[in-house]
C-alpha cells in the first residue's frame, strides 16, 4: 500500500501537468472556434449585403424603367381628332441626292400636325424603295402615288422646257386621287395644301389654314428675288393686289406654298386642275385658282398677311470675302442676317 505521503506527491506532480495541458488545449482551440464564428457572421453579413445589393439593383432597374417610360410618354403623330378638319398635304418629289434629307425634314414638321394626311407623289415610273421605307418609318398617315413626267418636259442638261414647271403632273394626280376618294356629299371636312419638299414650314401655318372656307392666303418668304411676297390687304380685310416683283398683273400672283383650298371646293369644281399647256411660267397657281375663286373670295391669314408662315430654302450669295444670308428670326418675323467670313471666325450680325 502506498503511503499517504506518496499519494500526495503523485497528485502534486500530476495536477500541474493536467492544468498545463488543459490551458494549452483551450488556447489552441478557442481561436479556431472564434474564426469559425466570424466566418459564419461574415457569411451572414455577405448574404445580407448580397440581398441588399439585389434590392438596390432592382430598385435601380425600376428607376431606369421609369425614366425610359417618361422619355417616351408623347407620341408622333398626334392622336387623330374627330373635331379638327383634316389637312391633305400634296408633295411632288423627284430623285436627287438630297431627296431623302429634304423629305425627312418635311416629315419631321408634319409629325407635329394633328389630323394630317400626306399625299406624296413621285416623278417616276414606279414608287422607289427608299421613299417607301421613309414613309413607313415616319408613322404618318400617307398615300404614296407616282407618275412620270413626259420626256419632252424633263431636264435636258442645264435647261428644262419652261412650258411646264416641275411637279405639275404630280399635283394633278393628287387632285384626281382626292376626287376619286372623297364624295362631294361626304360630311368629312378637309383642307388641301401644296407643300414642296425643299421648303420649311411653320407649325402655326397649319393652325391658320385649318379654318379655310374657300381659299386662304398668306405671305411667303424668299421667293421672286424678294425677302417675302405677300397679298395686299385693305382695311376691310380684303385682298386687292400683290406685293411681288415678277409680273404682279397675274390673276393670282402668289407662290404655290402661299394658299390652301377647302376640300369641298376642290370636289365641287372637277374641272379645276393645273394647266399643262398654254400657260406661261409663274402662272400655274393662277391656272388653278381662277377655276375656284375670284380675288374677293380670298381669305387673308397670318394677321391680315403681316406675318410670314413659310420659309423657302435660304438664298446664299457668295462674294469673295463675305456671305449674305437671308433668314428668319424672332418667331415668324423676318430679319436680315449679315454674315462676315474672316480668316478665323464667322460673325453674324442682325440688321
| Bridge partners, residue 201, by sequence | 310
Question: Which residues, in sequence order, are CB contacts of 119 under 8 Å at separation 6+?
Answer: 88, 89, 90, 91, 142, 143, 145, 174, 177, 178
What residue numbers does the annotated binding site for Mn(2+) cover?
Answer: 198
Which is nearest to 88 in space by CA: 113, 68, 65?
Answer: 113
> Hey, what's the cell of 133?
421605307
Q: Where are the alpha helices (DSSP H) in the chain?
A: 4-71, 99-110, 129-138, 168-181, 203-209, 263-268, 284-289, 302-305
Q: Which residue has 382695311 as its cell numbers? A: 235
First vs last C-alpha separation in the chain? 133
- Number of other residues whose CB lies within 10 A of the CB of residue 105: 15
Q: Which residue has 398615300 as its cell numbers? A: 143
Spatial separation of the C-alpha atoms in residues 226 and 245, rounded to whole Å: 8
Active site residue 148: no
Active-site residue (options: 285, 291, 299, 349):
285
What residue numbers does the annotated binding site cover?
Answer: 198
Catalytic residues: 285
Amino acid at each position: 500500500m502506498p503511503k499517504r505521503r506518496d499519494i500526495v506527491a503523485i497528485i502534486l506532480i500530476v495536477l500541474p501537468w493536467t492544468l498545463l495541458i488543459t490551458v494549452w488545449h483551450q488556447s489552441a482551440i478557442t481561436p479556431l472556434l472564434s474564426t469559425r464564428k466570424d466566418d459564419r457572421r461574415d457569411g451572414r453579413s455577405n448574404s445580407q449585403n448580397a440581398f441588399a445589393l439585389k434590392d438596390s439593383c432592382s430598385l435601380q432597374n425600376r428607376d431606369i424603367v421609369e425614366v425610359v417610360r417618361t422619355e417616351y410618354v408623347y407620341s408622333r403623330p398626334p392622336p387623330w381628332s374627330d373635331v379638327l378638319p383634316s389637312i391633305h398635304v400634296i408633295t411632288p418629289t423627284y430623285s436627287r441626292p438630297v431627296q431623302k434629307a429634304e423629305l425627312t425634314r418635311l416629315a419631321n414638321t408634319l409629325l407635329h400636325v394633328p389630323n394630317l394626311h400626306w399625299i406624296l407623289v413621285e416623278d417616276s415610273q414606279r414608287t422607289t424603295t427608299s421613299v417607301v421605307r421613309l414613309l413607313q418609318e415616319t408613322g404618318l398617315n400617307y398615300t404614296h402615288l407616282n407618275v412620270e413626267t413626259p420626256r419632252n418636259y424633263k431636264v435636258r442638261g442645264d435647261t428644262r422646257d419652261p412650258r411646264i414647271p416641275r411637279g405639275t403632273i404630280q399635283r394633278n394626280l393628287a387632285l384626281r386621287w382626292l376626287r376619286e376618294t372623297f364624295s362631294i356629299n361626304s360630311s368629312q371636312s378637309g383642307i388641301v395644301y401644296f407643300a414642296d419638299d425643299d421648303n420649311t414650314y411653320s407649325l402655326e401655318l397649319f393652325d391658320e389654314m385649318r379654318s379655310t372656307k374657300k381659299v386662304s392666303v398668306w405671305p411667303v418668304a424668299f421667293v421672286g428675288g424678294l425677302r417675302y411676297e405677300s397679298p395686299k390687304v385693305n382695311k376691310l380685310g380684303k385682298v386687292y393686289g400683290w406685293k411681288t416683283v415678277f409680273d404682279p398683273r397675274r390673276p393670282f400672283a402668289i407662290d404655290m406654298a402661299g394658299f390652301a383650298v377647302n376640300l369641298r371646293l376642290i370636289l365641287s369644281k372637277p374641272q379645276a386642275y393645273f394647266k399643262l399647256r398654254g400657260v406661261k411660267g409663274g402662272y400655274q397657281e393662277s391656272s388653278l385658282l381662277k377655276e375656284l375663286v375670284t380675288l374677293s373670295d380670298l381669305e387673308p391669314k397670318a394677321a391680315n398677311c403681316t406675318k410670314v408662315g413659310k420659309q423657302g430654302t435660304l438664298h446664299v450669295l457668295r462674294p469673295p470675302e463675305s456671305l449674305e444670308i437671308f433668314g428668319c428670326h424672332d418667331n415668324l418675323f423676318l430679319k436680315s442676317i449679315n454674315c462676315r467670313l474672316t480668316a478665323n471666325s464667322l460673325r453674324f450680325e442682325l440688321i
